[in-house]
Chains A and B, each alone.
Chain A
Amino acid sequence: MSILILAEHDNVSIKTTTLNTIGAAVKIGGDIDIVVIGSNCGVVAEAASKISNVNKVILADAEHLKHQTAEEIAPIIVDLAKSYSHILAPATTFGKNALPRAAALLDMQQISDIISVESVDTFKRPVYAGNAIATVQSSDSIKLITVRSTGFDAVDATGGSAEIENYSVGAAVNLSKFIKQEFTKSERPELSSAKIVVSGGRGVGSKENFDLIEKLADKLGAAIGASRAAVDAGYVPNDYQVGQTGKIVAPDLYIAIGISGAIQHLAGMKDSKVIVAINKDEDAPIFSIADYGLVADLFDAVPELEEKL
């Protein structure tokens, strides 16, 4: 087997989701190469070359690759594909955007969001918001796969010494133009890889009240998450959404506050090690999956918890 990993990075540093994706590649077995596509991203290639289990780093560096649009990435993957049996990307908005475009150009049926490797051609993936797990077997000659990072351990970011090969990038496709980015700035740990996540829902009631959640999160060194209802209501930015159609998290501790526990929300957090729910409705469905449930008004319980920790 020869496996190509599409690295996720911001031209400066490599995202940990890439390390989990390599974790899945290790399970498949075989030589593992990484392609780094971006602009002025030599430092990323350097970092990639040090990741354990990596055989070779391919660096595709050009000005028009700066924003890593799917239209520009896909042709590069297509060009590299013939040397590989598997091409893996993280199942993040980056990987979900780019990989299917390459898969269609290669006439391959992508396998999305795998959570386990059964064999070189058979994988498990959640369907129906995680209410069922499908085992699927691919008959395609190249398997294009996105990997759910909570399903696989990250490999070590150090210990490797792979060679870096420069890829000669062709002309830009120029189908789309980057206008702007509005990224949420935060000193807190990243939601998808945090050890502790404190999430608020509609019950929190307003953007101002989300202060309570933030204080508790900061006390615990936690990342902040939210339900769709909290995002829709504008209490927090979109990238805080946990769930079927938001981010998937599996921290050691997940604290759900004022969240009812709709299946779409559970889909994003039910693999957390320990789940705490604080809700004033003792019949809220979230309690059926919580290890520790506290039936209480969050406006009393959360400040008290924050103070006593």
Chain B
Amino acid sequence: MKILVPIKRVVDYNVKVRVKSDGSAIELANVKMSINPFDEIAVEEAVRLKESGKVSEIVVVTIASEKGQEQIRTAMAIGADRGILVKTDAAIDLGGVEPLSVAKTLKALIDKENPDLVIMGKQAIDDDSNQTGQMLAALLGWAQGTFASKLDIDGDKITVTREVDGGLETLELCSPAIITTDLRLNEPRYAKLPDIMKAKKKPLEIIEPSDLGLDYSVRMKIVNIAEPQPRKGGIKVDNVDDLIDKLKNEARVI
């Protein structure tokens, strides 16, 4: 069985981002970049399936500038076998490569690579769209198991437990399928130094969107980006009595 894992290069989740002063974009110069955390969970899940003997090959794909190679190497250090970078200079966070374009790119690659399963993040922590997996499933006519906290593969049978607003839901999906990961699916490992060294030698192919017959036209134009209204800090209360008094008589919320 072959798994394809799309990953995204995003601003590291620990970074507090700043908006450029002209309101056109987020400041990305000299900011730490990482694999989107949900995608790291996707890579880890694929690697665990490989370790359990159910999977023979893991291909990671990213759409990014030249620098996307860094995230592919990181995924390879976790255990992916091969990488494809679809190289673009368009913005990948906002106002450039939109989720539908990503889904179309992945579909074109899947038509060539024929994986049996795709595992990807439920959401990228930059544009917070939560669309790409569902869109890809639609374009392929495949089943979708979104927001997965548990995944079982038994031959052709894919069982996925999903984190939904009411609790948990378990579905059985026809194969092939798209899985999108939620936080509880697994805890990704830290890559060890020897694996990081090994990753440098794994095959990494670089292609252009035009090789797949795609261009990245924008349908959802960014008019402006602004910092949210800052919340005014409040006060410290001395004790519980003081707190109750403030809530009752000042804020009047209880």
Q: Which residues does A use to contact B, with CB under 8 Å? A: 67, 69-71, 74, 92-94, 96-105, 107-113, 122, 126-140, 174-184, 192, 196, 220, 228, 231-232, 237-239, 244-245, 247, 252-253, 263-264, 270, 273-276, 282, 287-296, 301, 304-305, 308-309
What residues of chain B lie closer than 8 Å to A179, measured between beta carbons? 159, 170-172
What is the distance, in angstroms, from B133's C-beta to the closest C-beta of chain A? Answer: 8
What residues of chain A lie closer than 8 Å to B57, measured between beta carbons? none
Q: Which of B16, B98, B246 contacts A131 (CB 8 A)?
A: B16
Q: Which of A103, A192, A245, A304 contacts B183 (CB 8 A)?
A: A245
A69 touching B237 in the complex, CB below 8 Å, given contacts A97-B147, A232-B184, A252-B253: no
What is the distance, in angstroms, from A253's C-beta to the closest C-beta of chain B? Answer: 4
Q: Which of A133, A135, A295, A305 contacts B244 (CB 8 A)?
A: A305
Contact flags B145-188 to A (C-beta < 8 A → 1, else 0): 11101000000000100111111111111100100001110000
Q: Chain B residue with minimal CB distance to A219?
A: B254
CA of A138 to CA of B167, assembled, Å:
34
CA of A274 to CA of B93, assembled, Å:
32
Instruction: List, sorted by A's number, 24 A–B pairs whose CB atoms are closer than 8 Å.
Output: A71-B137, A71-B144, A93-B165, A96-B146, A110-B131, A113-B130, A122-B223, A127-B94, A127-B127, A128-B26, A133-B227, A135-B222, A176-B171, A182-B168, A182-B169, A184-B166, A232-B183, A239-B163, A253-B247, A253-B251, A274-B253, A291-B251, A293-B234, A308-B241
Check A109 against B98 for contact (C-beta < 8 Å). Answer: yes
Determine whether B139 belongs to the interface, using a CB cutoff of 8 Å to chain A: yes
What residues of chain A lie closer than 8 Å to B135, measured between beta carbons? 100-101, 103-104, 110
* 10 extra interface residue pairs, beta carbon distance < 8 Å, beyond A132-B26, A274-B247: A67-B169, A112-B131, A129-B125, A135-B223, A135-B226, A138-B219, A178-B169, A183-B167, A228-B183, A292-B247
Central interface residue in A69, A100, A109, A308, by most chain B CB within 10 Å: A100
What residues of chain B lie closer than 8 Å to A112, measured between beta carbons? 128-131
CA of A67 to CA of B60, assembled, Å:
32
Determine whether B239 belongs to the interface, using a CB cutoff of 8 Å to chain A: yes
Q: Which of A100, A107, A181 contacts B169 (CB 8 A)?
A: A181
Central interface residue in B126, B132, B219, by most chain A CB within 10 Å: B219
A238 touching B149 in the complex, CB below 8 Å, given contacts A102-B138, A104-B138, A109-B100: yes
Central interface residue in B19, B134, B142, by most chain A CB within 10 Å: B134
What is the distance, in angstroms, from B12's C-beta to the closest C-beta of chain A? Answer: 12
Q: Chain B residue with minimal CB distance to A267?
A: B128
For window 184-223 of B, CB contacts with A under 8 Å fall at 184, 219-223
Check A293 against B236 for contact (C-beta < 8 Å). Answer: yes
Check A134 against B234 for contact (C-beta < 8 Å). Answer: no
What residues of chain A lie closer than 8 Å to B90, measured between beta carbons? none
CA of A120 to CA of B222, assembled, Å:
15
Determine whether B29 belongs to the interface, using a CB cutoff of 8 Å to chain A: no
CA of A135 to CA of B235, assembled, Å:
33
Determine whether B99 belongs to the interface, using a CB cutoff of 8 Å to chain A: yes
Check B167 against A109 for contact (C-beta < 8 Å). Answer: no
What is the distance, in angstroms, from B114's C-beta to the closest C-beta of chain A? Answer: 18
What residues of chain A lie closer than 8 Å to B88, measured between beta carbons? none
Q: Chain B residue with minimal CB distance to A302?
A: B240
CA of A272 to CA of B236, assembled, Å:
18
Q: Which of A184, A247, A294 contacts B240 (CB 8 A)?
A: A294
Determine whether B123 belongs to the interface, using a CB cutoff of 8 Å to chain A: yes
Check A181 against B167 for contact (C-beta < 8 Å). Answer: yes
A94 touching B165 in the complex, CB below 8 Å, given contacts A109-B220, A122-B223, A132-B226: yes
What is the distance, in angstroms, from A114's C-beta to the closest C-beta of chain B? Answer: 11
Check B251 against A274 for contact (C-beta < 8 Å). Answer: yes
What residues of chain B lie closer than 8 Å to A129, measured between beta carbons? 125, 128
A239 touching B171 in the complex, CB below 8 Å, given contacts A70-B134, A112-B128: no
What residues of chain A lie closer than 8 Å to B147, measured between beta carbons? 93, 97
CA of A105 to CA of B135, assembled, Å:
8
What is the distance, in angstroms, from B136's C-beta to the closest C-beta of chain A? Answer: 8
What is the distance, in angstroms, from A287's C-beta to the closest C-beta of chain B? Answer: 7
Top 4 A-B residue pairs of the complex, sorted by shortest distance between their CB atoms: A291-B234, A104-B135, A100-B134, A175-B143
CA of A104 to CA of B234, assembled, Å:
45
What is the distance, in angstroms, from A228's C-beta to the closest C-beta of chain B? Answer: 6
A287 touching B219 in the complex, CB below 8 Å, given contacts A93-B147, A132-B19: no
Determine whether B228 belongs to the interface, using a CB cutoff of 8 Å to chain A: yes
Q: Chain B residue with minimal CB distance to A282?
A: B236
Check B126 against A127 for contact (C-beta < 8 Å). Answer: yes
Q: Chain A residue with minimal CB distance to B130?
A: A96
Check B243 against A305 for contact (C-beta < 8 Å). Answer: yes
What residues of chain B lie closer than 8 Å to A99, measured between beta carbons? 134
What residues of chain B lie closer than 8 Å to A108, measured between beta carbons? 100, 219
What residues of chain A lie closer than 8 Å to B94, measured between beta carbons? 127, 134
What is the distance, in angstroms, from B219's C-beta to the closest C-beta of chain A? Answer: 4
What residues of chain A lie closer than 8 Å to B235, measured between beta carbons? 291-293
